[in-house]
């Protein structure tokens, strides 16, 4: 596997911290950090323009960029200059969704600020970005003081689903009615949620971190007994204090959902029977935040302990993992922590986050 990396802007002064939250809090270097420090935390490919839209962590509000896989060049979409951005917003953490009919992206914004700075704020924004017009439109800021660590979007029902911090809530916004339908405390939120084939929306709840399924058409929840990730409690609080166990979550397009925990374990969920099947652990380390379904029918995963994330794929027919290699370039530069993964034309793109001494890069792994 040949691995290269692409740099948007770079900042390599020795400003250390355990996370972007700690690093961006450094007031001495705040101006340079705002100009040059980026992490890449969410992705969505747009086949019509052959561009990968990447959600960023950036304290100046530059939260969405275009990446051209062919040239390796980036272009800012200008969210910080849109008139929508406010200083409490610092990332599109998980979830950029393409509505093909509208040729538009939908996403929500999150924060790096602490509660004293956010409690009286407008909270996270729900935003539409029309790709052809390169225009942002504010849909709503429906949950004052509460931001969106992850979102989901249902283009048929025209609803957005939000998993919030600091409230640890599940929220539902109806775009047709322009109103907030739900904003319910759950005590647990996944890194990202998932929507099954029937429109059921999945997340986690309570200190036991069981799965819930929200039936959007009926506006009610299912809390299936015993439906929880193996070792759910042990997998919680790894990503950050208060985090649930779920690190990544996708609809496999085969009638099943696939989810990985912060311990790095992959399971399959039958959304009808609520049966959970353990599929394995591809890497020795913890974390599995990168997961996607590729055109070859394989499920690709990226994670492992901080320092050198690993890439693998899961063959559903053979029920086996194939190890592909570390996200490490020939010049000795290594990815610190994977946050997002997309596979396009035989290349796996990894979004890097929380690097302790430099900006994050977009990594290209030729399969």
DSSP assignments along 214-278, one per residue: EETTTTEEE--TT-B-TTHHHHTTSSSTT--SEEEEEE-SSS-EEEEETTS-EEEE-TTT--EEE
Which of residues 246, 272, 290 is at a domain's end?
290
pLDDT at 249 over 90: yes
Q: How far is CA 313 from CA 158, 168, 278, in A?
A: 32, 31, 16
In tens, the pLDDT along 328-344 reads 999 999 999 999 999 99
Do 117 and 260 fall into the same domain? yes
**Cα 314-315-321 angle, rounded to 5 deg:** 45
DSSP 3-state assignment of 34? helix
CATH number at residue 73: 2.130.10.10
Q: Are 14 and 356 in contact (CB under 8 A)?
A: no
Q: Which domain holds residue 235?
A: 16-290
pLDDT at 17 over 90: no
H-helix or E-strand spanning residue 170: strand 169-174
Length reported for the chain: 367
DSSP 3-state assignment of 79? helix
Cα–Cα distance between 63 and 162 in angstroms, integer? 18
Do 296 and 170 fall into the same domain? no
Cβ neighbours around 330 below 10 Å, total: 8
User: Of 130, 56, 11, nearest to 353 (Cα)?
Assistant: 56
Q: How far is CA 298 from CA 31, 174, 291, in A?
A: 43, 33, 10
Which tokens is 277 given? 């099947």
Do 109 and 194 fall into the same domain? yes
Find tokens 């953490």 and name the residue: 93
Cα–Cα distance between 255 and 270 in angstroms, integer? 7
Q: Are 298 and 253 in contact (CB under 8 A)?
A: no
Cα–Cα distance between 348 and 351 in angstroms, integer? 10
In tens, the pLDDT along 40-52 reads 999 999 999 999 9
Do 220 and 115 fall into the same domain? yes
- Give the phi and the psi of residue 223 in degrees, each rounded to 5: -120, 80
Find tokens 């972007």 and name the residue: 20
Which of residues 264, 290, 316 is at a domain's end?
290
- Give pLDDT, residue 256: 98
Do 50 and 113 fall into the same domain? yes
Q: Are 286 and 269 in contact (CB under 8 A)?
A: no
Which of residues 266, 290, 314 is at a domain's end?
290
Do 39 and 162 fall into the same domain? yes
Number of continuous H segments (helices) and E segments (strands) in the chain:
4, 28
Q: Are 49 and 56 in contact (CB under 8 A)?
A: no
Do 206 and 257 fall into the same domain? yes
What percent of the chain lies above the pLDDT cut of 90? 89
Cα–Cα distance between 362 and 291 in angstroms, integer? 15
Taking residues 281-298, what's their average pLDDT? 95
Q: Are 65 and 77 in contact (CB under 8 A)?
A: yes
- Looking at every residue in the chain, the average pLDDT score rounds to 95
Which tokens is 225 given? 């007994």
Taking residues 69-78, what's their average pLDDT? 97
pLDDT at 306 over 90: no
User: Of 50, 52, 51, 76, nearest to 63 (Cα)?
Assistant: 76
Do 303 and 350 fall into the same domain? yes
Cα–Cα distance between 147 and 110 in angstroms, integer? 5
In tens, the pLDDT along 294-304 reads 999 999 999 98
Q: Are 361 and 38 in contact (CB under 8 A)?
A: no
Q: How confident is the model at residue 30 (pLDDT cuts 50, 70, 90)?
A: confident
Q: What is the value of pTM for the model shown?
A: 0.96
- Give the phi and the psi of residue 354 in degrees, each rounded to 5: 60, 25
pLDDT at 22 over 90: no
Do 268 and 155 fall into the same domain? yes
Q: How confident is the model at residue 15 (pLDDT cuts 50, 70, 90)?
A: low
Do 31 and 1 fall into the same domain? no
In tens, the pLDDT along 122-147 reads 999 999 999 999 999 999 999 999 99
Question: How many domains is the chain built from?
Answer: 2
Do 169 and 303 fall into the same domain? no
Do 70 and 47 fall into the same domain? yes
In tens, the pLDDT along 84-111 reads 999 999 999 999 999 999 999 999 999 9
What percent of the chain lies above the pLDDT cut of 70? 99
Beta bridge partners of 293: 299
């Amino acid at each position: 596997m040949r691995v290269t990396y692409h740099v948007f802007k770079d900042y390599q002064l020795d400003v250390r911290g355990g996370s972007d939250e700690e690093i961006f809090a450094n007031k001495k270097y705040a101006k340079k950090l705002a100009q040059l420090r980026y992490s890449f935390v969410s992705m969505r490919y747009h086949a019509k323009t052959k561009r990968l839209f990447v959600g960023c962590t950036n304290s100046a509000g530059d939260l969405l960029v275009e990446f051209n896989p062919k040239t390796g060049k980036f272009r800012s979409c200008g969210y910080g200059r849109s008139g929508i951005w406010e200083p409490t917003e610092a990332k599109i953490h998980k979830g950029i969704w393409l509505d093909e009919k509208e040729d538009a992206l939908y996403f929500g914004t999150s924060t790096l600020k602490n509660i004293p700075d956010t409690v009286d704020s407008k909270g996270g924004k729900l935003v539409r970005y029309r790709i052809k017009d390169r225009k942002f439109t504010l849909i709503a800021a429906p949950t004052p003081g509460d931001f969106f660590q992850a979102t989901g979007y249902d283009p048929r029902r025209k609803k957005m689903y939000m998993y919030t911090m600091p409230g640890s809530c599940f929220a539902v916004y109806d775009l047709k009615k322009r109103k907030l339908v739900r904003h319910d405390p759950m005590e647990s939120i996944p890194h990202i949620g998932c929507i099954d084939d029937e429109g059921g929306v999945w997340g986690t709840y309570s200190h036991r971190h069981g799965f819930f399924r929200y039936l959007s058409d009926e506006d009610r929840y299912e809390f299936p007994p015993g439906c929880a990730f193996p070792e759910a409690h042990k997998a919680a609080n790894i990503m950050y204090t208060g985090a649930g166990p779920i690190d990544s979550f996708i609809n496999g397009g085969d009638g099943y959902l696939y989810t990985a925990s912060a311990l790095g374990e992959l399971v399959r969920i039958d959304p009808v029977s609520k049966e959970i099947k353990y599929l394995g652990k591809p890497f020795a380390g913890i974390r599995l935040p990168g997961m996607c379904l590729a055109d070859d029918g394989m499920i690709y995963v990226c994670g492992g302990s901080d320092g050198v994330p690993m890439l693998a794929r899961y063959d559903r027919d053979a029920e086996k993992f194939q190890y592909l290699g570390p996200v490490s370039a020939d010049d000795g530069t290594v990815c610190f922590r994977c946050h997002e993964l997309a596979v396009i034309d035989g290349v796996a793109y990894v979004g890097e986050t929380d690097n302790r001494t430099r900006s994050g890069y977009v990594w290209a792994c030729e399969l």
